[in-house]
């Protein structure tokens, strides 16, 4: 055992170029002339780590822009750029793939998937606006579009195969990047937590697209027989009276991680329908929602699960799954590191799923801690402040890991929300109408983002860097050069000392950054590559527009490459245009209050909380979405009720991605929505005019 451990240590030392612990820099030695970043996170384990060291603590001050190109799309690109054989591959909404030369940025080819929205569900319309990246496998670039996986030839951009996963006419959609491993391609789906079907994960042959297996994340509804003893067990945890209409689907909408050592696939299963009043009185763990589930990657067979949040009412999903080897009690251990939305960082045994440790990495109010089995100790005290909010303390944005020091780097956020009763339609308060609203301006409960260096062994922070006013920022990259890179909603890209958190370098890129950077060696030079733009191609950015992109950073999507000594000029930051005065007079405030509930998540006092979830695409503050083909309704409110009716009821803009609600939306609903959108545009105009007046005065 001792000799085997020593041999493993020597091999690790060779891989990492024997990093010098005195300065945190590796010896470049005989570094390869060219490298790839062919997997999300640069490894199946999703560690977002690179062994490259040319750009390091000492040299990063010389980092400059090598080239930048504007991408042929209206959507901000947020996926981790993949690089193979000198080509950068970037995915975009609507099944778009872009291939650019890594040395020059020259566009080599583009691919656009066919997108038929005939009879499509709301989820399918919604997903067309969003994309979190693509995968590379067997000489193919693979992207999700309209419930399909589509593989194209990496050299030519020509379609090789496509495979149907979910049904876009039902309540399913895919907006995540596929994952690959063991010759397979894996994908989950999203139902927006309101689906009446069963969530699932599919595996396809990476070479041919042939379907290999499916794993369902929740049991069949109680009126139907279950598929197997596994789902008979799972069904019992939902209690009596479980129906398809109330359970949600258990989405695996992003987190899928492949473990090549154990041959396992770890999936993060989303929440059940979050409102407790829809649950059975005797509901248990509602498996497999709010759980990490380990599957046999080759067959899809269930291995183990770990439940995180029983009776979830906050939408705390287990995002951020990473696999690593770290020392536990002085011995190397294969573990799953998980940083979900609920504010705790977990360490689980990868082989068994057994809970090893877990500690909150950010303030939480919903639980007092975790017990010896990793179950939450719920906070039963009356507390109107929810932390984290449903946005999470960490969302899907990539974590990073230093395998030498076993340090986990977390892009965290703190967004306090007030838990309140729904506002009635008679109320004149139009600030918020749901049961939770953002708490802004209270010094006791600040809203901020953080970069946290976390010791998963001790369960404590090594250092923290706070980012006030910028909530939705990029994923991370760690390098053996002793650096952590992160981009920001205001367009800056920064490098931090991985040991201390000290900022060593920063540049304004000209566009909001949500994508995690990638880095490769090309012809003896290390390149750092990142996508920028308006940040719009994820739901969290659209729904949190004021935190995901500053007006000046909502620029056209671009791809940028940096290198030591780079001397290209930087793209311009965007010009802030004033909000135009609406061409329609203010509408009735009481009618607009009803419209707000229809636009967001419903009024308890209006037709049983009826809602159309417009904010899922248009944003939560009157429609201030951050770009793409989704119009900013604060700047472009409807000017005619009849035209508005033709759009929202008749589907006049369905080919552009705006669904029509036809018979389900009444004329009264149309009038209320019209009133709300127009009044929100007036509020935005007056707020902007007041701000401009203050600027002139100062």
Question: What would the pLDDT profile of 79-125 be if each residue is shown by its tens digit?
Answer: 999 999 999 999 999 999 999 999 999 999 999 999 888 889 888 98
Lowest-confidence region among 7-11, 137-141, 225-229, 633-637: 7-11
Q: What is the pLDDT of residue 496?
A: 98
Lowest-confidence region among 9-13, 89-93, 515-519: 9-13
pLDDT exceeds cutoff 60 at 129: yes
List C-alpha distances in Å: 251 to 15, 311, 414, 570. 37, 16, 24, 40
Categorize the per-residue pLDDT at 624 as very low, low, confident or very high, splitting at 50, 70 and 90.
Answer: low
Categorize the per-residue pLDDT at 5 as very low, low, confident or very high, splitting at 50, 70 and 90.
Answer: very low
- Read off the tokens for 570: 């930087």
The residue-averaged pLDDT of 421-432 equals 38
Q: CA 406, CA 454: separation in Å to the nearest integer?
A: 9
CA angle 581, 583, 586 (to 5 degrees): 85
pLDDT exceeds cutoff 80 at 250: yes
Tens digits of residue pLDDT in 207-247: 999 999 999 999 988 888 999 999 999 999 988 876 554 56
* Residue 321 contacts residue 292 (beta carbons within 8 Å): yes
Q: CA 522, CA 289: separation in Å to the nearest integer?
A: 43
pLDDT exceeds cutoff 70 at 66: yes
Tens digits of residue pLDDT in 673-689: 999 999 999 998 998 87
Check residue 311 and report its DSSP letter: T
| Rounded CA Rg of the chain | 24
Tens digits of residue pLDDT in 253-282: 999 999 999 999 999 999 887 666 677 888
* Residue 128 contacts residue 94 (beta carbons within 8 Å): yes
HSE (CB half, 13 Å, CA atoms) of 513?
Answer: 29
More confident residue, 50 or 609: 50
Q: What is the pLDDT of residue 18?
A: 40
Predicted TM-score of the model (pTM) = 0.90
Q: What is the pLDDT of residue 634?
A: 87
Q: What is the pLDDT of residue 75?
A: 85
Q: What is the pLDDT of residue 205?
A: 98
* Residue 259 contacts residue 266 (beta carbons within 8 Å): yes
The residue-averaged pLDDT of 381-395 equals 87
In sequence order, the β-bridge partners of residue 335 are 324, 349
Of 617, 622, 472, 590, nearest to 535 by C-alpha is 472
Lowest-confidence region among 76-90, 238-252, 325-339: 238-252
Q: What is the pLDDT of residue 21?
A: 38
Tens digits of residue pLDDT in 281-316: 888 999 999 999 999 999 999 999 999 999 888 889
3-state DSSP assignment of residue 284: coil
Lowest-confidence region among 28-37, 141-150, 195-204, 211-220: 28-37
Residue 7 φ/ψ, nearest 5 degrees: -65, -40
The residue-averaged pLDDT of 475-504 equals 97
Q: How do the domains of the chain map onto residue ranges?
A: 46-80+398-424+432-572, 589-697
HSE (CB half, 13 Å, CA atoms) of 481?
Answer: 25
In sequence order, the β-bridge partners of residue 460 are 455
Please identify which residue in the block is written with the tokens 């920001």.
488
More confident residue, 552 or 2: 552
Which string of b and e fits 531-558 if b means at least 16 CB within 10 Å? bbbbbbbbbbbbbbbbbbbbbbbbbbbb
| Most confident region among 116-130, 421-435, 540-554 by mean pLDDT | 116-130
More confident residue, 623 or 639: 639
* Residue 63 contacts residue 563 (beta carbons within 8 Å): yes
Tens digits of residue pLDDT in 555-595: 889 999 999 999 999 998 887 788 899 999 999 999 999 99
- Read off the tokens for 213: 């297996």
pLDDT exceeds cutoff 60 at 3: no
The residue-averaged pLDDT of 145-159 equals 98
List C-alpha distances in Å: 594 to 197, 251, 587, 663, 667. 30, 30, 12, 19, 13
* Residue 341 contacts residue 394 (beta carbons within 8 Å): yes
Which string of b and e fits 264-281 if b means at least 16 CB within 10 Å? bbbbbbbbbbbeeeebbe
pLDDT exceeds cutoff 70 at 698: no
| Most confident region among 47-56, 117-126, 189-198, 564-573 by mean pLDDT | 47-56
Check residue 690 and report its DSSP letter: H
Q: CA 623, CA 72: separation in Å to the nearest integer?
A: 25
List C-alpha distances in Å: 47 to 216, 265, 323, 336, 479. 27, 15, 7, 11, 11
Q: CA 223, CA 173: separation in Å to the nearest integer?
A: 25
Please identify which residue in the block is written with the tokens 């090893």.
356
3-state DSSP assignment of residue 438: strand
CA angle 462, 463, 467 (to 5 degrees): 150
Please identify which residue in the block is written with the tokens 């002085």.
330
Taking the mean position of all CA atoms in its chain, how far away is CA 635?
26
* Residue 254 contacts residue 396 (beta carbons within 8 Å): yes
Q: CA 365, CA 370: separation in Å to the nearest integer?
A: 13
* Residue 26 contacts residue 18 (beta carbons within 8 Å): yes
Of 407, 550, 582, nearest to 484 by C-alpha is 407
- Read off the tokens for 586: 């203010």
Q: What is the pLDDT of residue 443?
A: 84
Which are the contacts of 498, defined by CB distance < 8 A and separation ≥ 6?
Answer: 24, 402, 407, 409, 453, 478, 482, 483, 484
Q: What is the pLDDT of residue 328?
A: 95
Q: What is the pLDDT of residue 676?
A: 94
* Residue 334 contacts residue 59 (beta carbons within 8 Å): no
Q: CA 391, CA 516: separation in Å to the nearest integer?
A: 19
* Residue 200 contacts residue 147 (beta carbons within 8 Å): no
88 CB burial (10 A radius; 0-12, 13-18, 19+): buried
Q: What is the pLDDT of residue 604?
A: 59
More confident residue, 261 or 542: 261
Going by DSSP bridges, is the β-strand pair 460-468/302-307 parallel, antiparallel, or unpaired?
unpaired
101 CB burial (10 A radius; 0-12, 13-18, 19+): middle
Q: CA 186, CA 258: separation in Å to the nearest integer?
A: 9
pLDDT exceeds cutoff 70 at 33: yes
Q: What is the pLDDT of residue 538?
A: 72
- Report which secondary-structure segment, H or E, holds 683: helix 667-697
Q: CA 72, CA 76: separation in Å to the nearest integer?
A: 11
Classify domain 589-697 at the CATH superfamily level.
Cytochrome c-like domain (1.10.760.10)
């Amino acid at each position: 055992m001792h000799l085997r451990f020593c041999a493993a240590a020597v091999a690790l030392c060779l891989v990492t170029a024997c990093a010098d612990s005195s300065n945190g820099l590796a010896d470049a030695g005989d570094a390869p002339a060219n490298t790839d970043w062919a997997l999300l996170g640069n490894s199946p384990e999703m560690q977002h780590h690179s062994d490259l060291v040319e750009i390091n603590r000492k040299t990063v001050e010389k980092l400059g822009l090598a080239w930048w190109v504007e991408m042929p799309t209206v959507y901000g690109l947020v996926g981790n750029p993949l690089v193979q054989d000198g080509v950068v591959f970037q995915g975009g909404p609507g099944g778009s793939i872009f291939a650019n030369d890594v040395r020059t940025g020259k566009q080599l080819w583009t691919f656009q998937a066919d997108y038929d929205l005939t009879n499509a569900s709301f989820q399918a319309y919604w997903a067309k606006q969003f994309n979190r990246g693509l995968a590379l496998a067997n000489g193919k670039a693979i992207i999700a579009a309209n419930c399909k996986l589509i593989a194209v030839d990496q050299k030519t951009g020509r379609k090789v195969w496509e495979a149907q996963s979910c049904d876009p006419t039902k309540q399913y959609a895919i907006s995540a990047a596929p994952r690959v491993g063991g010759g397979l391609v894996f994908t989950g789906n999203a139902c927006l937590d309101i689906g009446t079907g069963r969530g699932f994960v599919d595996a396809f042959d990476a070479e041919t697209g042939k379907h290999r297996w499916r794993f369902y994340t929740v049991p069949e509804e109680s009126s139907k027989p279950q598929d197997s003893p596994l789902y008979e067990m799972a069904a019992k945890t939902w209690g009596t009276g479980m129906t398809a209409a109330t359970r949600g689907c258990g989405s695996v909408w992003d987190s899928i991680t492949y473990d090549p050592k154990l041959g396992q696939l770890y999936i993060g299963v989303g929440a059940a329908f979050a409102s407790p009043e829809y649950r059975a009185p005797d509901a248990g763990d509602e498996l497999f929602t709010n759980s990490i589930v380990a599957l046999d990657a080759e067959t899809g067979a269930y291995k183990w699960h770990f439940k995180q949040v029983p009776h979830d009412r906050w939408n705390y999903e287990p995002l951020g799954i990473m696999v690593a080897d770290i020392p536990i009690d002085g011995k190397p251990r294969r573990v799953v590191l998980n940083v979900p939305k609920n504010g705790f960082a977990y360490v689980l045994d990868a082989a068994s799923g057994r809970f090893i440790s877990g500690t909150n990495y950010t303030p939480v109010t919903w639980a007092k801690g975790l017990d010896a089995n990793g179950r939450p100790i719920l906070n039963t005290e009356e507390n109107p402040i929810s932390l984290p909010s449903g946005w999470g303390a960490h969302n899907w944005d990539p974590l990073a890991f230093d395998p030498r020091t076993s340090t986990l780097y977390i892009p965290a956020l703190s967004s306090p929300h007030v838990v309140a009763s729904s506002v009635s339609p008679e109320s004149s308060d139009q600030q918020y109408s749901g049961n939770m609203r953002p708490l802004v301006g209270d010094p006791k409960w600040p809203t901020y983002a953080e970069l946290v260096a976390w010791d998963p062994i001790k369960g404590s922070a090594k250092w923290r860097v706070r980012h006030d006013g910028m909530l939705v920022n990029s994923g991370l990259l760690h390098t053996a050069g002793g650096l952590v890179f992160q981009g920001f909603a205001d367009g800056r890209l920064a490098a931090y000392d991985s040991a201390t958190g000290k900022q060593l370098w920063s540049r304004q890129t000209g566009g909001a950054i949500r994508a995690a950077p990638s880095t490769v060696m090309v012809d003896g030079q290390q390149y750092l590559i990142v996508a920028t733009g308006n940040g719009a191609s994820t739901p969290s950015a659209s729904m949190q527009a004021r935190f995901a992109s500053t007006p000046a950073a909502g620029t056209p999507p671009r791809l940028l490459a940096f290198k030591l000594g780079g001397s290209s000029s930087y793209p311009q930051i965007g010009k802030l245009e004033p909000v135009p005065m609406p061409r329609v007079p203010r509408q009735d405030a009481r009618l607009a209050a009803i419209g707000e509930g229809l636009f967001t998540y419903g009024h308890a006092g209006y037709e049983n909380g009826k809602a159309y979830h417009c904010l899922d695409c248009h944003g939560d503050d009157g429609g201030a979405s951050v770009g793409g083909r989704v119009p900013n309704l604060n700047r472009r409110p409807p000017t005619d009720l009849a035209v508005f009716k033709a759009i929202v009821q008749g589907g006049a803009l369905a080919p552009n991605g705006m669904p029509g609600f036809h018979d389900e939306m009444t004329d009264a609903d149309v009038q209320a929505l019209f009133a709300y959108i127009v009044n929100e545009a007036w509020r935005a105009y007056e707020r902007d005019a007041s701000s401009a007046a203050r600027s002139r005065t100062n």
